[in-house]
Amino acid sequence: MGHQSSFHAPHGGADFLGWRVRAGETEIVYDDGVRRRMIWRVAAATGIEARISDALRIAVGAQKIVPTLYDELKKRAIAIEKIAG
């Protein structure tokens, strides 16, 4: 069974949070729908799709998405490196 890879904020905002695989590397993408787009590369992403999906689902439902994303990834021991934004 697959894992959800993209989420939109349920509170009426245009916020988007998702993960993708590009050139064999897993990336997390955040876009606020107006002016801010951020991309992070996930270190050692093999087999952690479910953990990433859970972290993104929780973060996108929060008022402060990016700080919550950092907290949720840290809780799950998922290391990231900011590559854009």
Inside any domain, residue 1: no
Q: Tell me the three state secondary structure of residue 67.
A: helix
C-alpha dist (Å) from residue 1 to 49, 50, 52, 62: 11, 10, 15, 26
Inside any domain, residue 60: yes
Q: Tell me the three state secondary structure of residue 74.
A: helix
Domain that holds residue 76: 6-84
Residue 63's Cβ-side half-sphere holds a number of Cα atoms within 13 Å equal to: 0
Q: Tell me the three state secondary structure of residue 76.
A: coil
Inside any domain, residue 77: yes
pTM value is 0.84
Inter-residue contact 28 to 72 (CB < 8 Å)? no
Enumerate long-range contacts of 22-28, CB under 8 Å, 24 or more apart.
Answer: 26/52, 27/83, 28/52, 28/56, 28/69, 28/80
Inside any domain, residue 32: yes
Inside any domain, residue 25: yes
Question: Over the stretch 20-43, which tens digit does the pLDDT of each residue have?
Answer: 888 888 999 999 888 889 999 999
The pLDDT confidence band at residue 2, using thresholds 50, 70 and 90, is: low
- Number of domains comprising the chain: 1
Question: Over the stretch 29-84, which tens digit does the pLDDT of each residue have?
Answer: 999 888 889 999 999 767 788 899 999 999 998 989 999 999 999 999 999 999 98
